[in-house]
Structure 1
Amino acid sequence: MPLPRRRDPDRLLPADPRTRDIARDLYRSVSDAPIISPHGHVPVEWLRDDTPFSDPADLLVTHDHYVTRLLHAAGVDYADLGLGGHAADPRDVWRILASHWHLFTGTASGYWLEEEFAEILGVEGAFGPDTADHFFDVISERLASPEYRPRALFEKFGIEVLATTDDPLDDLSAHASLRDVLPGRVLPTFRPDKYLDPDAELFASNIEALLGATAQPTSFAGYLRALKERRAHFIANGAVSADHGVQQPETADIDPLEASRLFDAVVEGSASVAGKAAFRAHMLLQMARMSVDDGLVMTVHAGVFRNHNSQTKRAFGSDTGHDLPVPTDFVRGLRPLLERYGLERNFHLVLFAVDETVYSREIAPLAGFYPSVFIGAPWWFLDAPDAMARFRSAVTETAGFSRSSGFIDDTRAFLSIPARHDTARRADAAFLARFVAEGRIQSRDAERVIADSVSGQPRRVFKL
């Protein structure tokens, strides 16, 4: 039975009537297309265990840093939201959100939550302080029903591919248990940051665990073999990509003897700041080399200063909303990597940024020359309707549509996946409709492009 709707069916489409008519047709052509999500952070255990979501606050507030950071900016104590292990009554957390709901007007997170309320959870009416308890009760009832358990929602959302993000030492048994259970595929993603970055917490212990798990000696050669072995394990369990989160996209091509010396120093804890930076940059290049060899798509998410506030980090941990964007330099930083592997046809390198200035200046020109480079979709602070339009304007005239990754939701907020993909489809329909209305492309080309953006392009880029 279709859920009740209260949203404008033409939301995010152009205001001009003629352009809106074009956009409406384009959007409708892909609105029900399956969801391909080749990079995200939904815990695989949710699908393996198929446990009902506990309550509205835990699902939609406490673990969503898009939401908690804006509440924090308004003076809400993170402890009152249940972060950092602090006990908080879910209904009280929900009421805090409702009492501050006006702060989310015009924000992407406010838009997504309204999408989830109306289109997924089927709650009618306006959310706010007066309706907070009503929304909490209705959503709680929904979450307790079999139709809203994770596997049922996976099927309801029309997910064809969902990639998780996983530690290299994960045995991936949860993924294996889901094989042939769901109507779509759940794929692991190799995320080796804490084994590559000497500044990562417990770096030496991480390396010891990696080498122990693969029975490799404590040497640079053994370390590389260990990483290669774990990548092979991921590939055997369906992985198609390896993801790398870095503050700066720096790469370095270092002599093997020097690389070995640096490895010894970073493991011992004696490396200088410059030495750690050189090792980190060389390992990003080594990950590209391995992707050339084993075929894993290499994604790089750059430009985030993690844990900007040390007091918040100590009290509430990482991923609680205090990561902030910084400028990046892809052209100079990636040149050593691209000198070695940029022309390799089997190598796919997808670049994501939160520094909008690099789209037209660096990433689109790189993707417009190197066959290996693809433009990652707007990410994190930029995965919002207006930012998506700016992204298309910044990259299309230089690199066209074919050099982009297709939409990537990159989320842990499971219920927001269809909302985010729908947002991207509407934003692309609006952008293409303007091109058609201005006589810049033909309608048939716009239809082809938007269909390709939700299916063909992500399949090609991520080798699906």
Structure 2
Amino acid sequence: MTTFLGPDFLLDTPEAQRLYHEVAADLPIVDYHNHLPPAEIAEDRHWDNLGQLWLGHDHYKWRVMRWAGIPEDRITAPATDREKFDAFAEAMPRLVMNPVHHWSHLELWRYFGLEGTVLSPDTADQVWDHVNAMLPGKEFGARGLLRQMNVKFLGTTDDPLDDLAHHKKLQGDPELVVAPSFRPDRVFQIEAAGFVPYIQALATLTGSEIRDFDGLAEALLQRLDHFVAHGCRAADHGIELLDCGAEYPSSQLDDVLRRRLDGEVLDSADAAALRAALFVTLGRAYAARGIVMQLHIGPLRNNSSRLLERIGRDAGTDSMNDFAIAAPLNALLDRLDRSDELPAMVLYSVNPAHNAILATTAGNFQDGSRPGKIQAGTAWWFNDQLDGMQRQMNDLAQMGLISTFLGMLTDSRSFLSFTRHEYFRRLLCRMIGQWHKDGLLPGDQTALNDLVRDISYRNAAKWFLD
């Protein structure tokens, strides 16, 4: 009989069981995109209670709590940590088959030894008291939680204006590499009200006078080099609208930028041209510095103005968008590729309808310089659940090369989220085990072992640790 999240959860063939338990389970973790606060790692933060640790920044949990009928006063302010935890325990029985239900129990079981305990109002006191008694221990601070999951690399998400002081403190750690990722989204939000103040802040920080495109580029590259000096291995672009504007000459780009800095509202063609020029300029800089460029495409953000006003951004009210990406994405990559200045790149879309587009686009721009130089990235956000990850890997396997795949990441603000790598690895072993059973893969155990090790750990380690 199969038990809830039991030892062979998802492992429904003998080969899947062997691959997971003997090969995948104990591999280190390279988590190359997440939103953990570097300050909390550098300071080895400890939390007062499970509510603070578990629910403080996790909009995945906030979202499903609202859906389960929990009022906002028990999810965010003014509820106490215990009240928020009790509300989550009350919601938990309604969350069945949502990945949060699986993840939450894996977190309780793997970090805190609560195997077999199912969270509900009946077990809330037991879980609360058990976990809170453990939290003061060394292994339950920020660094201890990472050590428990054998995390070797973290790629955080950092604005170009960040001073990276906490990353400086973390450099040279022999156990854990924490690298900043350059996230210049606000420079690309040309139409936004905050664009001009942001460029002014960039100018002040870099000692620049930004009045033309070259000045803007030089300021951004100065900040990028600051990131490289602090161990940066990747850039990350959150793209809410993917367009590819015309290729303007320098004088026209200068005019567009000056008009925007003077407060003019640009038309869509000018804004798109400026955005494309920034994309190409930074892409070339990443290629020259060996920086991996990640594109996170397609969220529709902050859709509830009520909750945006009350809580702010990242409140759990984002969803998938459905705009076309194939033509602009290929055009942007081609602008970099035609001069042989395309950086290694990972492409993600929050819309699973784009899986095949990403896989086939990645295939257009491979150049033999490294296996899978352009990646169709892992199932992202709403898709990092069982069906979503399986769809993404099936598309990649049959339209590209799954053997070069970089595997899982958490994309999380929670220090307890690393059991998601276990979730992914179990599914991966299930899929490979089934392919083996169906005669779709050779029966060479060494080759199967290498495939699991590569996708679970070694491919990402070669990109971000070597």
* 1:167–1:370 distance in 2 versus 1, CA, 3 Å: same
Letter in 2 for 1:65: H
* 1:184–1:463 distance in 2 versus 1, CA, 3 Å: closer
Contact 1:251–1:284 (8 Å) recurs in 2: no
Q: State the match for 1:448 in structure 2.
A: 450
Letter in 1 for 2:18: D
% same residue = 28
Deviation at 1:293, TM superposition (A): 2.4
Letter in 2 for 1:52: H
Please identify, of 304-313 and 364-373, the stretch whose mean Cα deviation from structure 2 is larger.
364-373
Q: State the match for 2:358 in structure 1.
A: 363
Deviation at 1:406, TM superposition (A): 2.1
Deviation at 1:463, TM superposition (A): 6.8
Deviations 1:8-46 (A, max 9, x none): 0111223xxxxx111011112021011111111111111
Q: Does 1:280 align with 2:275?
A: yes
Q: State the match for 2:369 in structure 1.
A: none
Q: State the match for 2:64 in structure 1.
A: 70
Q: State the match for 1:17 in structure 2.
A: none
Deviation at 1:137, TM superposition (A): 1.3
1:24-423 alignment runs, 5 A limit: 24-28=17-21, 29-82=23-76, 86-124=77-115, 125-181=117-173, 183-200=175-192, 202-219=194-211, 220-252=213-245, 253-274=247-268, 275-342=270-337, 344=340, 347-360=343-356, 362-371=357-366, 372-417=373-418, 419-423=419-423
Return the alpha-carbon distance in structure 2 between the equivalents of residues 341 and 281 of structure 1: 11
Deviations 1:84-103 (A, max 9, x none): xx332111111111111122
Return the alpha-carbon distance in structure 2 between the equivalents of residues 210 and 312 of structure 1: 30
Return the alpha-carbon distance in structure 2 between the equivalents of residues 181 and 136 of structure 1: 33
Return the alpha-carbon distance in structure 2 between the equivalents of residues 100 and 393 of structure 1: 33
TM-score, normalised to structure 2's length? Answer: 0.92
Deviations 1:187-224 (A, max 9, x none): 11111111221244522111111111111112221110
Return the alpha-carbon distance in structure 2 between the equivalents of residues 54 and 443 of structure 1: 51
Deviation at 1:336, TM superposition (A): 2.8
Letter in 1 for 2:312: G
Letter in 1 for 2:243: E
Contact 2:30–2:460 (8 Å) recurs in 1: yes
Aligned Cα RMSD in Å? 1.9
* 1:318–1:369 distance in 2 versus 1, CA, 3 Å: same
SS for the counterpart of 2:364 is: coil
Contact 1:242–1:297 (8 Å) recurs in 2: yes
Deviations 1:382-431 (A, max 9, x none): 111221111111221110214433222211111111x1111111111111
Letter in 2 for 1:113: S
Return the alpha-carbon distance in structure 1 between the equivalents of residues 330 and 363 of structure 2: 15
Q: State the match for 2:426 in structure 1.
A: 426
Return the alpha-carbon distance in structure 2 between the equivalents of residues 276 and 186 of structure 1: 35
Deviation at 1:48, TM superposition (A): 0.9
SS for the counterpart of 1:251 is: coil
Alignment size in residue pairs: 450
4+ aligned runs moved over 6 Å, structure 1: none
Please identify, of 383-392 and 283-292, the stretch whose mean Cα deviation from structure 2 is larger.
283-292
SS for the counterpart of 1:299 is: strand
SS for the counterpart of 1:161 is: strand
Contact 1:433–1:446 (8 Å) recurs in 2: no
Letter in 2 for 1:383: D
Return the alpha-carbon distance in structure 1 between the equivalents of residues 323 and 432 of structure 2: 29
TM-score, normalised to structure 1's length? Answer: 0.92
Q: State the match for 1:10 in structure 2.
A: 8
Letter in 2 for 1:348: A
Please identify, of 157-166 and 249-258, the stretch whose mean Cα deviation from structure 2 is larger.
249-258
Contact 2:298–2:321 (8 Å) recurs in 1: yes
Deviation at 1:303, TM superposition (A): 0.8
Q: State the match for 1:459 in structure 2.
A: 461
Deviation at 1:162, TM superposition (A): 0.9
Contact 1:196–1:283 (8 Å) recurs in 2: yes
Return the alpha-carbon distance in structure 2 between the equivalents of residues 244 and 288 of structure 1: 11
Could you tell me which runs of 5 or more consecutive residues in structure 2 were left unpaired when the two chains were aligned: 367-372
Contact 1:302–1:328 (8 Å) recurs in 2: no
Could you tell me which runs of 5 or more consecutive residues in structure 1 were left unpaired when the two chains were aligned: 15-19
SS for the counterpart of 1:129 is: coil
Contact 2:276–2:332 (8 Å) recurs in 1: no
